[in-house]
Amino acid sequence: MTMDMVAARAKAGKATVYRRWSSKVELVRDSLAWMNRTHLELDNLPDTGTLRGDLLALLKPRSIEEDERKYRVFAGMGSFWQHSEFVEAGIAGFFEPWIVINRELMHRAVGRGEISASADIELACEVITSMSYFRGLIQRKPFDKRYFTALIDGILLPALKNPKPSPNAVDQ
Amino acid sequence: MTMDMVAARAKAGKATVYRRWSSKVELVRDSLAWMNRTHLELDNLPDTGTLRGDLLALLKPRSIEEDERKYRVFAGMGSFWQHSEFVEAGIAGFFEPWIVINRELMHRAVGRGEISASADIELACEVITSMSYFRGLIQRKPFDKRYFTALIDGILLPALKNPKPSPNAVDQ
DNA sequence: CAATTACGGTACTGTCAAGTTCCGGAACTA
DNA sequence: TAGTTCCGGAACTTGACAGTACCGTAATTG
């Protein structure tokens, strides 16, 4: 991802790119922010009546391919992993919305009495995100509907429907 | 991570480094392989009688700090993320042994009748690894004993002790 | 001790990519 | 049409870093 490539892809001159962004750092920052603008409106979440239905409703073909593009972007960002500013503001920002959404859906499910009130929501709402990330970026296997449903039905819902064996809080 | 730094850290001349490795690529490959040599012998796993005990026995202070060093290495490897050769052989190789160990411990637990035989072991044995990675490299928070036990007690064991909920034929 | 080898250090070369400068031409304006 | 502004493109500068060449010296061997 060189600036020449960026300019070429934009069918623009490098000078023009630098007219709009004063450095590559700013360009990357803005690009990340742009990608982070989530299409998922927090106040318009799916509400199917079951946690399982809500979660499945989140996984649209759109988001699958978007995720894969994000992973390719990550892999190509190379040197920016050193600057923790970017990891925090940019990369972590990718995942935070999903975690927030999961948290909200799970809290609703608790309210409905669908899952145990003593479940560790704070941890559970990071499970999908963590594992999708690991699968996409490390294992480089598709995070598709099959895997997603297996995750929900095989891990997440069983974990949430039971009270946890021992009460444990995690710092946040 | 420049070759000058490597040489300096080794209190050696750059020429000496190049006498042993013909290129940086080979050096990184060998370094990854060396870090991957796991201290956990597969035929000498903990056997405390419970899955919980076995898993907790895996988490030694040694491995915690080693993991954090690995994450720092990852963050510093920058450009190598493009070459999927390295991601597969090197980085993925870090995690595979842990997954294998988890799988073995869980199969034992199934054999003891401790966890449900219908549990999704293949998925479950990736949970700890995925989430430790996410926490260490993305969230940059410590993967310590507190978090680890919360993960085991709040997610993993509850998920495993229950049969999967009905794989209902819900929406498409 | 003398000869050879191995090493640490430093200076050099080549390459690649970020950032700058400049120019010619297109598009808009009067 | 003439003047002004903006853009694409290409050449250039600069810095960082991989890889190389070389030298003085310490260790090794006969």
Residue A171 has pLDDT above 60, yes or no: no
Task: Say which of B123, B139, B157 has its CB closest to residue A151.
Answer: B123
Give me the residues of chain B with pLDDT under 50, please.
Answer: 166-172
- The pLDDT score that the predictor gives to residue A15 is 94
Strand D proximal to A11 Cβ, under 7 A: yes
Contacts of B150 in chain A (CB under 8 A): 120, 123, 168-170
Residue of A nearest to B145 (CA): A170
A44 located within any domain: yes
Tally C-beta pairs within 8 A across A and B.
Answer: 152
Q: Which nucleotide is nearest to B16 (CA to C1')?
A: C7
Distance CA A75, CA A81 (A): 10
Cβ density class A45-70: b for 16+ within 10 Å, e for less: eeeeeebbebbbebbeeebbeebeeb
Q: Give the number of domains in chain B.
A: 1
- Better-predicted residue by pLDDT, B138 or A14: A14
> Is the distance from CB of B13 to CB of B7 less than 8 angstroms?
yes
A133 located within any domain: yes
Band (A40; pLDDT cuts 50, 70, 90): low
B32 located within any domain: yes
Q: Which residue's entry shows tokens 């990736």?
A: B126
A63 located within any domain: yes
A111 located within any domain: yes
Task: Indicate which CATH number applies to the domain containing A74.
Answer: 1.10.357.10
- Positive or negative, the CA dihedral B83, B84, B89, B94 is positive
Q: Domain of residue A87: give its range.
A: 22-161
Straight-line distance from CA A7 to C1' C25, in Å? 19
Q: Which residue's entry shows tokens 């106040």?
A: A43
Residues 6+ positions from A143 with CB-CB distance below 8 Å? A64, A67, A68, A132, A135, A136
Are residues A81 and B82, on separate chains, in Cβ contact within 8 Å? no
Straight-line distance from CA B135 to C1' C26, in Å? 53
- The pLDDT score that the predictor gives to residue B89 is 76
Contacts of A164 in chain B (CB under 8 A): 153-154, 158
Strand D proximal to A12 Cβ, under 7 A: yes
- Nearest CA among A150, A145, A151 for reference residue A65: A145
> Which positions of chain C lie under 7 Å from any protein Cβ?
7-11, 16-23
Contacts of A156 in chain B (CB under 8 A): 159
DSSP helix/strand/coil, A105: helix
- The pLDDT score that the predictor gives to residue A124 is 96
Full 3-state SS string of A48-80: CCCHHHHHHHHCCHHHHHHHHHHHHHHHHCHHH
Residue A69 has pLDDT above 60, yes or no: yes
A169 located within any domain: no
Token representation of residue A18: 């630098």
Q: What is the DSSP letter of B39?
A: S
Contacts of B130 in chain A (CB under 8 A): 130-131, 133-135
Residue of A nearest to B165 (CA): A153
DSSP helix/strand/coil, A137: helix
Strand D proximal to B4 Cβ, under 7 A: yes
Straight-line distance from CA B23 to C1' D12, in Å? 31
Residue of B nearest to A151 (CA): B123
Mean pLDDT of chain A: 86
B13 located within any domain: no
A130 located within any domain: yes
